[in-house]
């Protein structure tokens, strides 16, 4: 039996949250219906195609998000999505996203960061994040392959002098030289793509101590 359309207020704040092309549709419950056993149904649309498509895993769901990564995996296409709420015999009208363009809108996650240290230097090796993939056994695509101009903003903090400085690098290895021996340094890295601003996701802070100065150790002997 079809529900009474418009009998409920629409869900609100419908947007795509996109990180490394993992594209999740999310929304808020209709005004005044928080905590009520409302269910939601999602559809999506590929810009330029003919009709709205169902997402079967997001039909009559209780949660307020729906993973549309597989349906929007061609990042050079553009998409719309919409959701409606149902409660008993009543349902809301659809509420729709604006046009979503994964290629320009996805956030680029942080790289993997590997640190090795010397007396007065720290070597940093960065590995670009991977694009979302449907199955773990699928072959990986690096975000570097999608954004050839991907860069990294490396922030370094000297815990002894309380000093922080940053460097923007394009390649995957970086050696910090002229550091103080026997000092704890902490490193945080963000991925950057020149162009429209995107929310940045910093890496976990990693700290490493430079080695003691061997020359002064020898003099002591």
Partner 1 sequence: DLRRCLISTDVHTIEESFRGIKKAIQAKDIFQNVTILSPSETLHSIKPSDVCCVTKNLLAFYMDRVFKDHLEPNPQILRKISSIANSFLSMQKTLQQCQKQRLCHCGQEATNATRIIHDNYDQLEVRSAAIKSLGELDIFLAWIDKHHHGTSA
Binding site for partner 1 (CB under 8 A): 45, 47-51, 76-78, 80, 98-99, 101, 103-104, 148-149, 194-196
Q: Tell me how far CA of residue 99 lies from CA of 16, 87, 105, 132, in angstroms.
A: 10, 28, 11, 20
DSSP 141: -
Compare residues 122 and 192 and give the one whose CB is closer to partner 1.
Answer: 192
Pick 51 or 221: Cβ nearer partner 1? 51
Taking the least distance from each CB to partner 1, the nearer of 77 and 133 is 77
For residues 49 and 116, which CB has a smaller minimum distance to partner 1 in the complex? 49
Per-residue CA distances from 147 to 130, 144, 216 (Å) = 11, 5, 47
Q: Smallest distance, Å, CB 103 to partner 1?
A: 6
The β-bridge partners of 41 are: 84
DSSP state letter for 100 = B
Distance CA 221, CA 215 (A): 10
In angstroms, the Cα distances linking 197 to 79, 98, 105, 208 are 20, 18, 9, 31
- According to DSSP, the residues that pair with 123 across neighbouring strands are 116, 175
Minimum Å gap between C-beta 149 and partner 1 is 6
Shortest Å distance, C-beta 47 to partner 1: 6
Task: Kindly state the smallest distance separating residue 140's Cβ from partner 1, in Å.
Answer: 21
CB 181 within 8 A of CB 213: yes
Nearest-approach distance from CB 30 to partner 1, in angstroms: 22
User: Closest approach of Cβ 99 to partner 1, in Å?
Assistant: 5
Q: How many beta carbons lie within 10 A of that of residue 97, not counting itself?
A: 17
Helices marked H in the chain — which ranges? 102-105, 143-146, 214-220
Q: Which is nearer to partner 1, 125 or 199 (CB)?
A: 199
Q: Which is nearer to partner 1, 104 or 125 (CB)?
A: 104
Tell me how many degrees the CA angle 144-71-105 measures, rounded to the nearest 5. Answer: 45
């Amino acid at each position: 039996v079809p529900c009474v359309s418009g009998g409920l207020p629409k869900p609100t704040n419908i947007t795509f949250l996109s990180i490394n092309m993992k594209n999740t549709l999310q929304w808020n419950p209709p005004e005044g219906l928080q905590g009520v056993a409302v269910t939601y149904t999602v559809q999506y649309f590929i810009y330029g195609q003919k009709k709205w498509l169902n997402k079967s895993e997001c039909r009559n769901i209780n949660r307020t998000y729906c993973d549309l990564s597989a349906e929007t995996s061609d990042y050079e296409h553009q998409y719309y999505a919409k959701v409606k709420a149902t409660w008993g015999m009543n349902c809301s009208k659809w509420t729709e996203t604006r046009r979503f363009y994964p290629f320009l809108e996805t956030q680029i996650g942080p790289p993997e960061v590997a640190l090795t240290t010397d007396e007065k230097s720290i070597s940093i090796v960065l590995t670009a994040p991977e694009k979302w993939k449907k199955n773990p056994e699928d072959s990986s695509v690096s975000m570097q392959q999608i954004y050839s101009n991907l860069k990294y903003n490396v922030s370094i903090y000297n815990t002894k002098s309380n000093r922080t400085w940053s460097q923007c690098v394009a390649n995957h290895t970086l050696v910090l030289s002229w550091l103080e021996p026997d000092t704890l340094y902490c490193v945080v890295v963000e991925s950057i793509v020149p162009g429209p601003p995107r929310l940045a996701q910093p890496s976990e802070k990693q700290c490493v101590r430079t080695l003691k100065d061997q020359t002064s150790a020898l003099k002591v002997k």
